[in-house]
């Protein structure tokens, strides 16, 4: 029996924690190829797998409104084939290695990733490089990508949650702000896209100079650097920083908009307003603030709407931190008959948080939570690669993760109170309900939270 | 590829304990499988196993309501639970110095749930579950596919005839007495597996488990499943349902009744499913999506269920103009074409499954869940280490034979949704 394992304390008290074993974020070696491609290499052998993520400064925010969806479509069309092989031959080659390409386009970047067994990393990186550097965009494959994307947009319109989220953006941002539209574009903008646009976007944005390559897992950093060189050193070209875009709200006055879904048994609710950019000095305070308000199960919103009232299966709030100020949003789905009650409670929770600020116990709980779950993001090679890629996208320093937890721990009550006062504005909250307008309009009016506008789908 | 070390022992009260160390990161997963799921529900109480799972988060004798979530979140852990056909699992991953906390919480609700149960809690969670049902099934396009498909695929008296979420009426009828009876019947140590995986000291973990779980009384023997478990290996015909509904695109859910997870042929089913729809070089993607452009996406999955039989599910979403008949016929054609499956297709399918399995075991939470699964269904956690070999052993001939026996016209159940109005 070891020293510390004395008898069990009484069952009626929660046990005290044992000795802490410190977690250290993985070491990441940084470098750069002559063509400007940043390298981040994290050897973390645990299982014989390797993860590769190529980051491109090719986010959807760079695309003008008339071509909305172009960055996303371009990413999807990459799998249509390369100058060396057709789309189906490409799929055979990639999947023959036991892996799949994951191409993700967000507002701020496009990433092309894969996870493979470590002894196949050279071949896999070769295919990834081929896809990004030498796509061929055969007309039939681009056409198919557009058709499938159109079908997906059609599905979104009939999925209550997507419908609400998409409509909410138009309520939050002025029409000329990229964030006012769904990331995936619209049926209308899709009709203006084709192989030419996609090729042009690649020509302009898929360039090493503002990109980065991350390799994580069971590959040692010097070997990974060799591989990076062999597959990317002769890639050339420079991308410019891209156009600036406005970030303005649609309106300041509080309002409720109901997107009518006749006979809906549930209402999808979104409440929020413009949030803050990733580089806000209040980033850490807002992470803590959000955990208290609606970012965890035991947050104020969830304890109220779910555990106290049983209105919903769950409610969450979040700040979408992007290069520009993404939305602050509260999301939930509730039974039609309690829609207005849930909206009232949500708005009241925001108001109460701004007026009274956080309590000391909530602050500690939220900080412990964020600090404690931090290591869970570093379990797999794929997670480490994705996390490291995120640092590249936002130009964050390489020691960001090494200091993350101490920065969270330093957040004080005053920091949270001030951040909340700066970034949460109860009088400007925009409310979006996708539900049965005939049932919810009256009760929403009765809340006197501002005008209520009903839209058909 | 990987070899997961573990150690297994049993407490006097019957609780099976699996310890598997990995000190790479100072976190530890605590995972509990109870051998109870929707298959144990009696008529009139469908959905109860899942509602009960919610009640397990409402506090126990020494843990007030919400305290479980509060303590785990405060510890910096993640937690959840899920109910399925054959089992219910509860799991948390916490920083390793909070192992004792997780064991205290799990043991308290295994041993001392009932003293804390109240009708207010039941009413509250009934509302939450009814909302979950609305959000995930009623207010969702295609939301009732499983209800329809399971009814076609399994006889009325078979435990898989009804869904895990259950009927609204049954959820509304559940009483506090049901909670008590269910707990006493199924939440007993002998019907549970506790797996701890990650960073811990073995001796200390054993002592803590004994200290927290050892005093829980043994409980009775779990009663036999309601209904009739034995059933014919195939359904004997094609059963079709056409559902005009307010859905955006046509979609077919096609299922075959296949041998259960516990049968050696289940791995053939898994490989067949991967040949059909895993990846963009898969049969159905190549044909229906890429070449013929009838569909926008395809998936196929063999459900790892153990009660008499299970299902291989294929779901395909058509394009707006694709006729339901065309979609169904194209699916049948490709699936029956497995009679000529090539070795390269099998190799590709196995390679994808291989990487996916390693990716899964990379996470201690998923690894713990797999160890619990193999213990619960096979009494052998070590089977996890053989899983890859079992998949690799599947040959082209096996897939052909499997398809010939189970994936033909005499064993199909399908539900096809067709858009009814163009709004």
Q: What phi and psi values does residue A395 have, to the nearest 5 degrees?
A: 60, 35
CA A370, A371, A373, A377 torsion-angle sign: positive
The helix/strand/coil state of A86 is strand
Residues 294-353 of A with CB under 8 A from B: 296-298, 303, 306-308, 310-313, 333-335
Q: How many CA atoms within 13 Å lie on the side-chain side of B300?
A: 26
Domains B7-213 and B237-419 are alike in CATH topology: yes
B134 interfacial to chain A (CB closer than 8 Å):
yes
B95 to A375: CB separation less than 8 angstroms, yes or no: yes
User: Which homologous superfamily is B237-419 in?
Assistant: Metalloenzyme, LuxS/M16 peptidase-like (3.30.830.10)
Taking only the tens place, the pLDDT of each residue in A334-376 is: 999 999 999 999 999 999 999 999 999 999 999 999 999 999 9
Taking a C-beta distance cutoff of 8 angstroms, is the pair B41, B47 a contact? yes
Report the alpha-carbon distance of residue B33 to residue B51 in Å, rounded: 16
Residue among A388, A393, A438 nearest A215 (CA): A388
> Does B296 contact A151 at a Cβ distance shorter than 8 Å?
yes
State whether B141 and A155 contact (CB < 8 Å).
Answer: yes
B69 neighbourhood in chain A, CB within 8 Å: 297-298
Is A79 within 8 Å of B280 when comparing Cβ atoms?
yes
CB nearest to A117's CB, from B97, B141, B355: B355
Residue B237 sits at the chain A interface (C-beta within 8 Å): no
Compare CB distances from B358 to A92, A117, A303 and report the shortest one's residue: A117
Beta bridge partners of A315: A332
For B290, name the nearest residue in chain A, comparing CA atoms only. A144
Which sequence spans correspond to the domains of chain B? 7-213, 237-419
Name B317's bridge partners: B251, B297
Between residues 145 and 204 of chain A, which touch chain B (CB distance below 8 Å)? 147-148, 151-152, 154-155, 157-160
- Domain regions of chain A by residue span: 29-232, 255-456
Cα dihedral value A384, A387, A391, A396, nearest 10: -90
CA A379 to chain centre: 19
- Segment 369-398 of chain B within 8 Å of chain A by CB: none
Residue A258 distance to chain B (closest CA, Å): 17
d(CA B107, CA B92): 13
Distance from the Cα of A296 to chain B's closest Cα (Å) equals 8
Of the candidates B303, B307, B287, B150, the one whose C-alpha atom is nearest the C-alpha of residue B225 is B307
- Note the pTM of the prediction, 2 decimals: 0.94
Q: Please report the pLDDT score of residue B1 as a whole number.
A: 80
pLDDT for res A3: 39
Which residues of B are less than 8 Å from A48 in CB distance?
Answer: 1-2, 358
The residue among A326, A364, A209, A346 whose CA lies nearest residue A267 is A346
Partner-chain residue, chosen from B249, B281, B319, that has the shortest CB–CB distance to A95? B281
Residues 6+ apart with CB under 8 A from A196: none
Contact list in A for residue B131 (CB cut-off 8 A) is 266, 310-313, 333-335
Question: Does residue B198 contact residue B27 with C-beta atoms inside 8 Å?
Answer: yes
Whether residues A144 and B290 touch (CB distance < 8 A) is answered with yes
A29-232 and A255-456: same fold? yes
Residues of chain A with pLDDT under 50: 1-6
Please check whether the domain covering B7-213 is classified as CATH 3.30.830.10. Answer: yes
Query: What pLDDT score was predicted for residue A9?
Result: 60
Window 244-263 of B, Cβ < 8 Å to A: 246-249
ipTM at complex level: 0.94
Residue B320 in tokens: 């707006």
pLDDT of residue B66: 87
Residue A372: list chain B partners with CB under 8 A. Answer: 74-77, 94-95, 98
Q: What is the mean pLDDT of chain B?
A: 96
Taking contacts as CB-CB distances below 8 angstroms, the residues of chain A near B25 are 23, 375, 378-379
What is the Cα Rg of chain A in Å?
24
Question: How far is residue B231's CA from residue B228's CA, in Å, rounded to a whole number?
Answer: 8
Torsion of CA A179, A182, A184, A187, to 10 degrees: -130
Low-confidence ranges of chain B (pLDDT < 50): 423
> Could you give the CA distance from residue A87 to residue A109 in angstroms, rounded to a whole number?
23
Q: What is the pLDDT of residue B384?
A: 97
**Fold of the CATH domain A29-232:** Cytochrome Bc1 Complex; Chain A, domain 1 (3.30.830)
Nearest to B319 among A98, A147, A379 (CB): A147
Chain B residues 35-74 with a CB less than 8 Å from chain A? 62, 65-66, 69-71, 73-74
Nearest CA among A371, A280, A79, A69 for reference residue B73: A371
Give the CATH class of A255-456.
Answer: alpha beta
CB B368, CB B197: distance < 8 Å:
yes
Q: Is the minimum CB–CB distance between B26 and chain A shorter than 8 Å?
A: yes
């Amino acid at each position: 029996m070891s020293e510390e394992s004395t008898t069990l304390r009484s069952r009626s008290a929660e046990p005290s924690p044992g000795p802490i074993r410190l977690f250290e974020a993985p070491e990441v070696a940084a470098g750069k190829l002559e063509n400007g491609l940043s390298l981040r290499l994290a050897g973390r052998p645990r299982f014989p797998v390797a993860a590769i993520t190529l980051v491109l400064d090719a986010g959807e925010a760079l695309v003008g409104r008339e071509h909305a969806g172009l960055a996303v479509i371009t990413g999807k069309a990459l799998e249509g084939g390369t100058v060396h092989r057709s789309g189906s031959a490409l799929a055979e080659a990639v999947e023959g290695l036991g892996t799949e390409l994951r191409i993700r386009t967000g507002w701020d970047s496009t990433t092309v990733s894969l996870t493979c067994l470590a002894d196949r990393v050279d071949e896999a990186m070769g295919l990834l490089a081929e896809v990004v550097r030498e796509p061929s965009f055969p007309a039939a494959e681009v056409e198919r990508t557009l058709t499938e994307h159109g079908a997906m947009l059609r599905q979104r319109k009939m999925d209550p949650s997507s419908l609400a989220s998409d409509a909410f953006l138009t309520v939050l941002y002025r029409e000329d702000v990229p964030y006012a539209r769904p990331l995936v574009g619209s049926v209308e903008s899709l009709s203006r896209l084709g192989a030419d646009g996609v090729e042009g976007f690649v020509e302009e944005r898929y360039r090493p100079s503002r990109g980065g390559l991350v390799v994580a897992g069971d590959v040692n950093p010097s070997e990974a650097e060799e591989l990076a060189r062999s597959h990317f050193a002769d890639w050339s070209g420079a991308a410019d920083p891209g156009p600036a875009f406005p970030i303005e709200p649609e309106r300041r006055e509080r309002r409720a908009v109901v997107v009518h879904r006749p006979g809906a048994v549930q209402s999808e609710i979104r409440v929020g307003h413009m949030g803050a950019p990733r580089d806000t000095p209040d980033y850490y305070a807002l992470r803590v603030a959000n955990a208290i308000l609606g970012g965890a199960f035991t947050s104020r919103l969830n304890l109220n709407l779910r555990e106290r009232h049983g209105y919903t299966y769950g409610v969450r709030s979040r700040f979408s931190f992007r290069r520009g100020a993404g939305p602050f949003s509260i999301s939930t789905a509730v039974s039609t008959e309690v829609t207005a009650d849930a909206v009232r409670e949500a708005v009241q929770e925001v108001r109460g948080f701004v007026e009274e600020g956080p309590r000391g116990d909530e602050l500690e709980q939220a900080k412990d939570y964020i600090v404690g779950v931090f290591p869970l993001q570093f379990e797999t090679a794929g997670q480490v690669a994705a996390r490291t890629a995120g640092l590249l996208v936002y130009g964050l320093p390489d020691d960001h993760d090494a200091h993350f937890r101490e920065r969270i721990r330093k957040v004080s009550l005053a920091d949270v109170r001030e951040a909340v006062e700066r970034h949460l504005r109860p009088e400007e909250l925009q409310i979006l309900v996708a539900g049965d307008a005939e049932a919810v309009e009256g009760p929403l009016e009765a809340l006197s939270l501002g005008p209520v506008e009903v839209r058909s789908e | 590829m990987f070899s997961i070390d573990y150690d297994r022992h049993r407490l006097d009260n019957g609780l099976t304990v699996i310890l598997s160390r990995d000190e790479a990161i100072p976190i530890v997963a605590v995972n509990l499988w109870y051998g109870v799921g929707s298959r144990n529900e009696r008529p009139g109480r469908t959905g109860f196993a899942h509602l009960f799972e919610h009640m397990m988060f409402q506090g126990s004798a020494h843990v007030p309501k919400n305290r479980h979530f509060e303590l785990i979140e405060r510890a910096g852990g993640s937690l959840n639970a899920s109910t399925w056909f054959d089992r219910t699992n509860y799991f948390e991953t916490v920083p390793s110095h909070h192992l004792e906390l997780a064991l205290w919480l799990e043991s308290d609700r295994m041993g001392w749930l009932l003293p804390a149960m109240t009708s207010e809690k039941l009413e509250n969670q009934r509302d939450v579950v009814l909302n979950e049902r609305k959000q995930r099934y009623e207010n969702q396009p295609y939301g009732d596919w499983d209800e329809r498909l399971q009814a076609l695929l399994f006889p009325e008296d078979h435990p898989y005839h009804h869904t895990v979420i259950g009927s609204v009426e049954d959820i509304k009828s559940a009483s506090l007495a049901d909670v008590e009876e269910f707990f006493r019947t199924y939440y007993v140590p002998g019907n549970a597996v506790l797996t701890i995986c990650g960073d811990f000291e073995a001796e200390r973990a054993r002592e803590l488990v004994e200290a927290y779980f050892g005093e829980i009384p043994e409980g009775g023997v779990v009663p036999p499943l309601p209904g009739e478990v034995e059933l014919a290996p195939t359904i004997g015909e094609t059963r079709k349902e056409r559902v005009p509904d307010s859905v955006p695109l046509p979609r077919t859910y096609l299922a075959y009744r296949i041998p259960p997870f516990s049968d050696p042929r289940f791995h053939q089913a898994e490989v067949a499913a991967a040949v059909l729809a895993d990846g963009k070089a898969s049969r159905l993607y190549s044909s229906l999506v890429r070449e013929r452009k009838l569909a926008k996406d395809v998936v196929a999955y063999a459900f790892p269920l153990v009660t008499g039989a299970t299902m291989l599910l294929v779901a395909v979403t058509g394009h707006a103009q694709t006729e339901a008949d065309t979609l169904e016929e194209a699916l049948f054609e490709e699936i029956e074409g497995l009679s000529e499956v090539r070795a390269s297709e099998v190799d590709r399918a196995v390679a994808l499954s291989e990487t996916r399995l390693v990716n899964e075991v990379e996470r201690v939470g998923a690894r713990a869940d797999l160890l619990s699964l193999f213990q619960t269904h096979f009494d052998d956690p070590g089977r996890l280490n053989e899983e890859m070999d079992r998949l690799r052993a599947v040959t082209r001939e096996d897939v052909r034979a499997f398809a010939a026996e189970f994936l033909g016209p005499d064993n199909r159940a399908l539900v096809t949704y067709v858009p009814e109005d163009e709004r």
